[in-house]
Amino acid sequence: MTKYQHYGMCTRLLGLTTNPLVALYFACEEYGDVYYKGIEDEEDVKIQEANGVIFFNRKYSVSTNEINIKIISSLSQIDLSNDNTLESILRKLTERQAISKELEERWKSKEQFEEFINIIQNNYIVIPPYNNERLSRQCGMFLLAGCFNFVYTESISESSIEKGYKDLREEFDRKFFYIPGEKKKTILEELDTYNINEATLFPELEHQLSYIKKKKNAKSKASSEFIKFDFNDIKQKIIKTDIEISDNIIKDESFKGAVIIDLSEKYHFDIQKIWGFVEEWVSIIDWNRKESVISRFKVEIQRVLLENGFDKEHAKNESEYISDKIIKIASEVSERSEK
């Protein structure tokens, strides 16, 4: 029955867990959009992901009475739509080896039948053997619901037993944990860092693949349209990049002039601070090839731009432009000097 319950069949079992993080995971599973009315104004309606709830009980006592569990489990499999007298039901339970012949005879009597009725009208907490990997990963346990109605007649043996239903809310503490629908995604992401996710709670292959797919989709970016690479289009750029830059480029007045003119035309603030960092940068050996040196220069330029009113993203993009432009000007000046 526990295996059937875990794989979606209707049973008299309510799945529980002893792990609060597992409970939180299931409370945060996507349910779908629902309508919520305002507390003060019913006209104030909003549509959002359904809120989650975690019910708990600190005082659960696990049932160790194997006979009680056998009786409820067997009754749930017996057709009670007809031939459902107490005498008939007890006989069927004996045939299924859920109870002994001695108990059958005892519970048919007027003096002892109450004991049997109490058993079938109670609920039981059951921790099954962890011979199911999914059950083990979810730290699973079950609430086995009795809820069988006893319809009394003047003859005890002819009184009938019927399947019933009830709200099991009273089996849990009056307090509960409330999960706002809009917070579910964030909570699931945090649970993932604790290794509580679909892949760890559900060992089946389809759940493993589903988890991998979700993680991949969350990280992947939309693909751009395919454009075949044209080598001829960048041939000149490749040639310029391969040009050796003069070691004394900083002493070349044409280099300084070209840089000052370009920066002055593009930026409407005092660019002397930027030029100071350019001087420091190009004085370093292989300044245009060392990524660490280039990165440090870009950081300094970003700080200058931020001081002059640029936002963070704009400053980052402009520092890329300036570093590339400096290298290009240095390459062009060095090329002219060699001719």
For 308-330, write each residue's pLDDT tens digit.
Answer: 999 989 999 999 999 999 999 99
Is this model's pTM higher than 0.85 or not?
no
| Residue 239 pLDDT | 45
Q: Give the chain's residues under pLDDT 50.
A: 236-241
Write the pLDDT tens digit of every residue in 143-182: 999 889 999 988 888 899 999 988 899 999 999 999 999 9
Pick from 97, 127, 120, 121: nearest CA to 2: 127
CA distance 216 to 251: 52
CA distance 236 to 257: 24
Q: What is the largest CA-CA distance in the chain?
A: 121
Helix (H) or strand (E) holding 334: helix 312-338
For residue 146, the tally of other CB atoms under 10 A from its CB is 20
Number of residues written out for the chain? 339
Taking CA 160 as the corner, what is the angle to CA 154 and CA 164, rounded to the nearest 5 degrees? 130
CA distance 184 to 30: 8
CA 240 to each of CA 69, 93, 271, 330, 335: distance values in angstroms, whole numbers, following the listed order: 83, 92, 27, 10, 8
Asked if 145 and 16 count as a contact pair (C-beta separation under 8 A), the reply is: no
Structure tokens, 298:
């870009």
Tell the residue number behind the tokens 């840089």, with chain if given.
259
Taking CA 102 as the corner, what is the angle to CA 98 and CA 104, rounded to the nearest 5 degrees? 60
CA distance 82 to 85: 8
> 160 forms bridges with which residues in the sheet?
85, 151
Pick from 13, 21, 28: nearest CA to 141: 13
Residue 247, classed as helix, strand or coil, is coil
